[in-house]
Structure 1
């Protein structure tokens, strides 16, 4: 089933220790590019969260924001001595190298990330709760990507159907087109007042027909249409396959347009390019 790379999910839940909030949003990107914004208490979980994400998403720029609101008045605060020593050591180095550095303000120091900790907070419980909430949010995101992917697939299939119809119409135009080439060649020869051997005239007509032959391009366009339908039914990421196929679609449409000398076929070639560009824009959002 086709998945979009664009979706948004948000989960929030209250617990005895406080409230956890998880927001995940994803947009199109050639590769998987996750970004995490985590509360200090939960920062050590980033690797686990990243692994969970990679198991279910292969492409897209994904932003994950985790917020933690501690219940006020229920827990006492304490200072992380290791963190405090590290910060003080860094400040001492700065003070030794910078003349007239500002005096240390204890209140500002308390605001530094990781200095204050909750003395009674069960960090393990908070982290376990976050993992469950993250999985729920990730499932919601995947559902959104799946729904959006189905919409994109339907839009692409609609244009594939229109392309197949145009290709069939162009095939019907070919006999009349070839007849027009023959007539134009005879008219030019007569206008020159030159008597041309019928066999030679036939050979020239064949050469013109070969140069103007678009059967190969039409066959390939039909093949690309069928291949697009097959790919859209496959499981797993298909965006790169479709992106390559769009380039092949465009290549055949360009060749067809350069060969066409009949107004109806030229017009159809332009319509083909429009439909292919519309498909290409949709494919950019497919995982």
Structure 2
């Protein structure tokens, strides 16, 4: 889920820079940092991100700048009319008093405070700008998803290696079972010999029941079979692609549960070592599943 993309553009005097980044997250958390005043931009951006992404802490930012230009000098018509009326009244009073005044020039009028202003029109006033920004967002999102795909391909290779390591360890555990069975029977025989040597009476039926219970309790065949099934399911998920992060996360928990049970039932040094190695690889895989969408 970790990725980053950036894209810049311009339209007339307006320039912008988009950036989109994400880090690991259990769900989809969208954080948008967009300038105010552009109608519909945030809602459309959320819609596009929500349709393309399903997981991760995602931050989308947009920075906009406007170049200053002489074309941004604007007249205030109302204030200009007030200035011209005032000048007309001054000329009329001067004539009544016999005073001759020079006619004001346009430059004189423009120097009056408030007649001419250097302003920046609102960004949203340009109806073309939101469309261009959203089109650029589509390209940004495509670059972002391409980076995610590249990261995902590398991650899939790593996780397949980890699943192969689990497969190898399960095979080692299965190969260990015959020797473990012989050792378990020998240990039970020694324990039985100690009991009978003390002269304690032994009921054959009860003894058979207890031995059967011990055998069932220590049997790890089901755990190994479930680990085999989980290996197949994990490989299928990685092969199908798409948003499989949550499923892989759940599957990693199931892997860990079986490895814990294997360790608790082992009663064999070699099998315990295999179980601990399994837990180590499974823990590494669980960490990587946090990076999968």
Asked if these proteins are the same fold (TM beyond 0.5), I'd say yes
Tell me the residue number matched to 1:98: none
SS in 2 for 1:13: strand
Tell me the residue number matched to 2:282: 276
C-alpha RMSD over aligned residues: 2.4
1:254 correspondence with 2:260: yes
Of residues 38, 42, 54 in structure 1, which corresponds to 2:38?
Answer: 42
Tell me the residue number matched to 1:65: 61
SS in 2 for 1:12: strand
Q: Distance in 2 between matches of 1:224 and 1:123?
A: 57
SS in 1 for 2:240: coil
SS in 1 for 2:38: helix
Structure 1's 120 and 150: CA in aligned 2 closer, same or farther, altered over 3 A?
Answer: closer
Q: Distance in 2 between matches of 1:213 and 1:57?
A: 44
Tell me the residue number matched to 1:15: 11
1:1-287 paired onto structure 2 within 5 Å: 5-42=1-38, 44-76=40-72, 117-118=120-121, 123-192=126-195, 193=197, 205-287=211-293
Gaps of 5+ in 2: 75-118
Does the CA contact (< 8 Å) of 1:6 and 1:25 recur in 2?
Answer: yes
Q: Distance in 2 between matches of 1:212 and 1:205?
A: 11
Does the CA contact (< 8 Å) of 1:31 and 1:59 recur in 2?
Answer: yes
Does the CA contact (< 8 Å) of 1:178 and 1:209 recur in 2?
Answer: no
Q: Give how far 1:231 is off.
A: 0.9
Q: Distance in 1 between matches of 2:140 and 2:8?
A: 9
Does the CA contact (< 8 Å) of 2:39 and 2:130 recur in 1?
Answer: no
SS in 1 for 2:243: coil
Structure 1's 74 and 44: CA in aligned 2 closer, same or farther, altered over 3 A?
Answer: farther
Q: Distance in 1 between matches of 2:153 and 2:27?
A: 21
Gaps of 5+ in 1: 79-115
Q: Distance in 2 between matches of 1:286 and 1:171?
A: 31
- After superposing the two structures, state which structure 1 stretch, 41-50 or 155-164, moved more: 41-50
Q: Deviations over 1:173-223 (max 9, x none)?
A: 111111111111222232341576888766654443222100000000000
Q: Deviations over 1:230-260 (max 9, x none)?
A: 1112243111111111111111111111000
Structure with larger RCO (C-alpha < 8 A, sep 6+): 1
Does the CA contact (< 8 Å) of 1:42 and 1:127 recur in 2?
Answer: yes
Q: Deviations over 1:135-170 (max 9, x none)?
A: 111111101111111122111111111111111111
Structure 1's 117 and 14: CA in aligned 2 closer, same or farther, altered over 3 A?
Answer: closer
Does the CA contact (< 8 Å) of 1:77 and 1:119 recur in 2?
Answer: no
